[in-house]
Amino acid sequence: MSGVILGTAHREFVKGNEAICHGALAAGCRHYFGYPITPQNDIPEYMSAHMAGHGGVFLQAESEVATINMLLGAAAAGKRVMTSSSGPGISLMQEGISYMAGSELPALIVNIARSGPGLGGIAPSQGDYFQAVKGGGHGGCRIPVLAPHSVQEMYELTLLAFELADRYRTPVMILGDAIIGQMKEPYSPGLHEPPAPIDKPWATTGCVGRPRQHVKSLYLKDDDIERHNWRLHEKLQRVENAEVRAESYHLEDAKIVLVAFGTAARVCKTAIQWARKAGIAAGMIRPITLFPFPKALVHETAGRADLMLVVEMNTGQMVEDVMIATSHHDKIRFVGKPCAMPTPDDIFSEIKRLAGKTA
């Protein structure tokens, strides 16, 4: 999985937000619920125009609170469902996300993040990292989080999100930002098979020929809720064991290893290309799954690299996961730019400065 698509495969030129819609429709998602918020309105606008033509349902809810619960209901009925929003709306959805994690309901939730806290601004930001990967909802809820860095990945990771959601019976989040949502790039829809529909015998579709069944997250007996918690934990461990994805970029001989995701990783790639031309052995780990985090790769790389430079569009969040992943804390550096995209020059000068110190 990467942003490089050369050759003659059929390519479409669309913005990232639209590629998510293409992916969702290809994956068989026919139920979209949402509420307007900048900078992701292209997604509900596209879905409102195209869902009916695919025999699906588009519904603009009265709030993000209602949205996520409509998702809950349609997911409980066994459908592939999705919504999209941005920070303030995702905060409102956290109640429902926790209920869906507790009730083990598959769904895709897209966060095209903006700046915060509070109303913040519509500038691109990665400030929602903690909320996304540490479980913004109550009660120890955590869900897989995917971080696309190209329009191609906006499409592919949407397919993957539905696949993981169904396989593990969990909501899955795509964490993007305004840049990756608004930028256009060619992408090839044909490179990745959409996930096949799967049986959902647990769904509440009416008890024809079987005993009644329930979708719920309430377990009032002490033992029951503890067992339920351990079961959810074991499921997340299976996700951690099987679903870690990361791109290794010029990593083999890298002495200065950047760690960045999403849009920030795009900028880092340019800075690394410049650094390589200047004779600096720079490389990058780009987590594609933020949860599960590529701990092993980070730890193994930190052992042999001179320095680990974490680059984020916030004041330092993923850097904590890097510190959890490795004991080489003395090698970890951080450069952050909240609420704006760093330029390749910003990152390149930091790489040069660090290279000068280690030389």
Partner 1 sequence: MSEKTNTDVIFAGFGGQGILMVGNLLSIAAMDEGRQVTYFPAYGVEMRGGTANCTVVISDDEIGSPVVGHPRACVVMNAPSLEKYQPLMVAGGTLVVNSSLVGKGDVNRSDLSVLFVDANEIARKVGSLQLASMVALGAYAAKTGVVSVETLCACLPKVVSKKYEKFIPLNISALKEGASFA
Partner 2 sequence: MSSSDKQLFDKVVFKRPESLVDVKTHFCPGCHHGIAHRIVADAIDHFGMREKTVGVACVGCSVFLYDYIDVDVVEAPHGRAPAVATGVKRALPDHFVFTYQGDGDLAAIGTSEIIHAANRGENLTVIFVNNTTYGMTGGQMAPTTMLGQKTSTSPYGREFSNDGYPIKMAELLAQLEGVAFSARVATSTPAQIRKAKEAVKTAFDMQIRRMGLSVVEFLSTCPTNWGMKPLDARNRVLGEMIDYFPLGIFKERKQADFV
* Under rule CB under 8 A, residue 101 binds partner 1: no
Structural tokens at position 34: 């949402």
Backbone angles phi, psi at 323, to 5 degrees: -70, -35
Least Å from the CB of residue 73 to partner 2: 2
**Closer to partner 1 at the Cβ: 191 or 296?**
191
* Under rule CB under 8 A, residue 205 binds partner 2: yes
Backbone angles phi, psi at 188, to 5 degrees: -110, 110
One-letter amino acid of 75: A
Task: Select the residue interacting with partner 2 from 41, 188, 204, 273 (CB under 8 A).
Answer: 204
Q: Residues in contact with partner 1, total (CB under 8 A)? A: 31
Q: Which residue has the tokens 């992916």?
A: 23
Least Å from the CB of residue 347 to partner 1: 9
Where b means 16+ CB within 10 Å and e means fewer, 71-93 reads bbebbbebbbbbbbbbbebbbbb
Query: Integer distance in angstroms from the first to the last C-alpha of the chain?
Result: 34
From CA 109, how far away is CA 91, in angstroms rounded? 12
**229: nearest Cα among 146, 142, 325, 132:** 142
Q: Which residue has the tokens 């999705």?
A: 82
Binding at 6: pick from partner 2, partner 1, none (beta carbon under 5-8 Å per type)? partner 1
Choose the stretch contacting partner 1; rule: CB under 8 A; options: 162-170, 180-188, 275-283, 304-312. 180-188
Binding at 74: pick from partner 2, partner 1, none (beta carbon under 5-8 Å per type)? partner 2
* Under rule CB under 8 A, residue 22 binds partner 1: no
Choose the stretch contacting partner 1; rule: CB under 8 A; options: 3-11, 102-110, 169-177, 351-359. 3-11
Choose the stretch contacting partner 2; rule: CB under 8 A; options: 120-128, 176-184, 211-219, 325-333. 211-219
Q: In angstroms, what is the C-alpha Rg of the chain?
A: 20
Helix/strand/coil for 129: helix
**Closer to partner 2 at the Cβ: 7 or 206?**
206
The binding site for partner 2 (CB under 8 A) comprises 31, 33, 57, 59, 61-63, 65-67, 69-79, 81, 95-96, 99, 103, 204-209, 212-218
